[in-house]
Amino acid sequence: MKSLDLFAGAGGMTLGFKNAGIESVGAIEIDRFAAETFSYNFPDIPMYNRDIHTFTEKEIKKLFNGVDIIAGGPPCQGFSVAGPSQYGIIDERNTLIMEFYRFISILKPQFCILENVKGILNGRMNESQKALQTYREKLGDIGYTTEVFVLQAADFGVPQYRERVVVVGTLDKDKMPKEIKGEFEGEENWVKIKDVFGDLPDINAGEGTNDLVDYKTEPQSAYQRYIRKGSKGVANHVAMKHTKRLIDRFSQIPQGGSLLDVPAEYGQRQRNGTGLDVKKRYKTNNQRLDPEKVSNIITASFQSTFVHPYLNRNLTAREGARLQSFPDAFVFCGPRTLMSKSLLKREHREDEIGLSQYNQIGNAVPPRMAEAIGKVIVESSR
């Protein structure tokens, strides 16, 4: 089967589908750093680093006619409960789901696979239209049957609690999958943090390299053996620089704890110069991973969210990639982190705006979950 990957990002869905035996004939991604990562890891797949709106019907047919599957995840920040929707703001990116529909309506693939956050279930494109409802109605008008599956990434061997919505559409209702079941269902079967990092080089804040280095040990778990297939070493393993005060704060956080558990003298200082602890702390800040559990959800800004389970620093990009089930052989390109857009503009460096390695990882579809979805689609098509 051949697929077209829209909103491809770094290539999590593409990699999973490739492992399921599906061949990608092209990918579209607007962000240049994510597109660079994609092309590095999939040199044989045409990457179109363009705004999806710029493709005409004629061009779409010329480039992609005959694909069996259209897959992708339109940008989800507008649907996320942590995004603008919590303030009643409708994000303009919410309409990109209709660009996904436009490609389907032109190419008429046998299957279409849309992945997104749970917020899409009630997310709106505008004041009068719910995004998912409109998308499904439009597909129905051109002959597609659709089903909505709510999946837990941890059930598919991803060491992370990550609920996602997958909408499967098919022209042949008899080929609709009855279920998308993971091999690791049940919390007792989930891959724990203690099995994820142990073979990686121990580095402290400010240490490490983006280049390939040797592993610390042989694989210590089944997950490490899985994640190391085809890899000659560790890349993208650089720890962020931290102040001594921040390192001291991290040292006070127990496994499974967060900023809420830190004594006042190690807390966040008020900006008024009094040196007193801030009055309100947030559980989502500085969460130290619990070795006996899966990680909480990896978001686009995870570089400052989590603390290593044993070391007093935030996670490296490689550690985040492992929590997303990207193999160590998959290399992330572009800047490791990026300044805020406002700061870049003040320094006249707007050309650097894009998705950092951390952003690319947090935005991705976990490849191990994508592989399971792909296998179900291949089996259903027979």
Residue 268: per-residue pLDDT = 65
Please determine, for residue 131, whether its predicted confidence score (pLDDT) is greater than 80. yes
- Listed residue (29, 100, 71) closest to 374, CA to CA: 71
Per-residue pLDDT of 306-365, as tens digits, reads 999 999 999 999 999 999 999 999 999 999 887 555 544 554 445 556 899 999 999 999
Average the pLDDT over 176-201 and give the result: 96
**126 — pLDDT class (breaks 50, 70, 90):** low
Please determine, for residue 11, whether its predicted confidence score (pLDDT) is greater than 80. yes
Which one-letter DSSP state was computed for residue 234? B
Give the containing element (helix H, strand E) for 165: strand 163-170
Task: List, in sequence order, every residue forming a beta bridge with 23; answer none if it has no partner.
Answer: 2
**90 — pLDDT class (breaks 50, 70, 90):** very low
d(CA 9, CA 42): 12
Residue 280: per-residue pLDDT = 56
**94 — pLDDT class (breaks 50, 70, 90):** low
Which of these ranges, 60-64, 237-241, 284-288, 304-308, has the smallest mean pLDDT?
A: 284-288
Tokens standing for 340? 């805020």
Residue 122: per-residue pLDDT = 75
- Helix axes of 367-381 and 12-19: crossing angle, nearest 10 degrees: 50
Q: pTM (2 decimals)?
A: 0.89
Average the pLDDT over 218-238 and give the result: 97
Give the containing element (helix H, strand E) for 166: strand 163-170
- Contacts of 208 by beta carbon, 8 Å cutoff, 6+ apart: 201, 237, 238, 239, 316
- The catalytic residues are 76
Per-residue pLDDT of 327-339, as tens digits, reads 999 999 999 887 5
Give the containing element (helix H, strand E) for 115: strand 111-116
Under CATH, which number does the domain 2-186+366-381 receive?
A: 3.40.50.150
* Beta carbons of 197 and 237 less than 8 angstroms apart: no
Decide which of 105 and 341 is more confident.
105
Mean residue pLDDT across the chain: 89
Burial of residue 309 (number of CB atoms within 10 Å: 0-12, 13-18, 19+): buried
Residue 129: per-residue pLDDT = 75
- Contacts of 175 by beta carbon, 8 Å cutoff, 6+ apart: 110, 111, 380, 381
Decide which of 75 and 230 is more confident.
230
Please determine, for residue 128, whether its predicted confidence score (pLDDT) is greater than 80. no
**74 — pLDDT class (breaks 50, 70, 90):** confident
